[in-house]
A and B are shown apart, each in its own frame.
Chain A
């Protein structure tokens, strides 16, 4: 049953977004990765996930906000279908750290899709990054941190709309980055942010 839903959702996402995927200086691989992308629309995670090749999709889990995706049976079902890790944006504490939770969910098999801005940008501009990406990179230096630029998604389904438009979008996946030895948090986050901006121009 879930398989059917997956193919329907993937088909719908591909049809609606007409997404072209460009692998720029990066090849599809099932090794453990963190895809970090700019966030402008609710459909971002779904479209990015659907556009990955099937074998990669099977080991990739989007990270989504619990307050949205846990609200109501349909959203909860969709989140379970694409195997999302839900994190609580409201109750972040040292004891209840989302980073540790994510690392646990990843195990040694899964890759993650995260949106380091922490929420959707209202105007489509890339905002500042939350520190989660830095800690993920620090605790698991073996992970490839892969920048992804999503273009035109905010027109497919802008903040506050429920119905998507079938406009053409594109997904650019860039060269992986790692945390350099001795690199500070702000420095690294700025570099990560810049790697997405660079994809925008390429």
Chain B
């Protein structure tokens, strides 16, 4: 019983710097939100009201995600995982709703929704579920989450649809379902998986040696990731509006410009270095943190572009308007879906120590 209680409430993950960072960030968001509100009241001739609306939506979306994330983190990292699990589930249902499927795909989709999506998250959480009976080789099972969808699920989708005896647009249908699963479930699950990426090592410049990272927790790592993505998202928006001249791909997304991409990447690089210098919540060096932030920014842009391309292909404006009245989850997390797996794997490649999922048992 006490094990269960200890499992449920674990606030020790929050360190001072991560609280400061979070507070500062929420403050900035609140100010931006107020600015948006103020601008909306100004005459419409000055600023396009559609721009303000999209700016507002962005900010509100990010405030919501951050608040829920922090609440989930305060309880326990498994709750954070469950939160992301629901996010995945919702994103996937938006994705599949938008994608034309055929009768023959019905049962495949059932397993995609109700087996592979929960299983992916279950595997991430596995090493934590201490009240489960002891599994032999728990680490071996836990590392499955890195390849269960790319290997087992994608082959299952192809095979199961073939068994359903409907050859029309076969290749197209399996590709769509596989990609939906890859983006909405596999990629997004890498954000909460950051919490389980421990112990990490860090480079001690004074001693000129690697040591186990003890000055922070992986909660800081996830917060760092989410906040950088969101800052990069906002900066991209601001740069596009202020200095955007050369649109990257007008037929995909008329708003995204090269100036926005490079501007936000450079700014996030500086902000990444600044965060690590002032509030060291990651195991990176100052320069490393800048480079990581820059990488996250570029991947976030690529993710958004990809989602725009999918939307144009399907001929929808926003995932949110797909079915009237739904808040488009996919619109809000499009920047996470590329950045999360890359950030996870780069961090793991450089900083993981032995007992990390996917690292094998040494």
- Residues on A lying within 8 angstroms of B by beta carbon are 18, 20, 22, 151-152, 155, 158, 161, 163, 165-170
Contact = CB atoms under 8 A, between A and B. Distances in A.
A91 B202 CA distance: 79
Nearest to A170: B323
A161 B97 CA distance: 18
Majority secondary structure of chain B interface residues (helix, strand, loop or mixed):
helix
Contacts of A168: 93-94, 97, 322-323, 326
A154 B103 CA distance: 9
A158 B113 contact: no
B250 interface: no
Majority secondary structure of chain A interface residues (helix, strand, loop or mixed):
loop
B331 to A, nearest CB: 14
A170 B322 CA distance: 10
Contacts of B110: 163, 165
B53 interface: no
A158 B103 contact: yes
A166 B113 contact: yes
A150 to B, nearest CB: 12
A24 to B, nearest CB: 10
Given A158-B106, A161-B106, A166 B324 contact: no
Contacts of A18: 93, 323, 326
Chain B interface category by residue count: 10 to 19
Contact of B113 (A161, A165, A169): A165
B68 interface: no
A165 B106 contact: yes
A192 to B, nearest CB: 24
B347 interface: no
Contact of B325 (A22, A151, A161): A22
B89 interface: yes
7 closest cross-chain pairs (CB), A and B:
A20-B325, A168-B97, A168-B323, A170-B323, A167-B97, A163-B110, A166-B93
B323 A169 contact: yes
B31 interface: no
A161 B109 CA distance: 12
Nearest to B111: A163
A163 B108 CA distance: 11
Interface in B172-222: none
A22 B89 CA distance: 24
Nearest to A19: B323
A167 B93 contact: yes
A167 to B, nearest CB: 5
B323 A20 contact: yes
Interface string B103-134: 10011011001000000000000000000000
A170 B107 CA distance: 22
A170 B324 CA distance: 7
Interface string B311-332: 0000000000011111000000
A21 B294 CA distance: 43
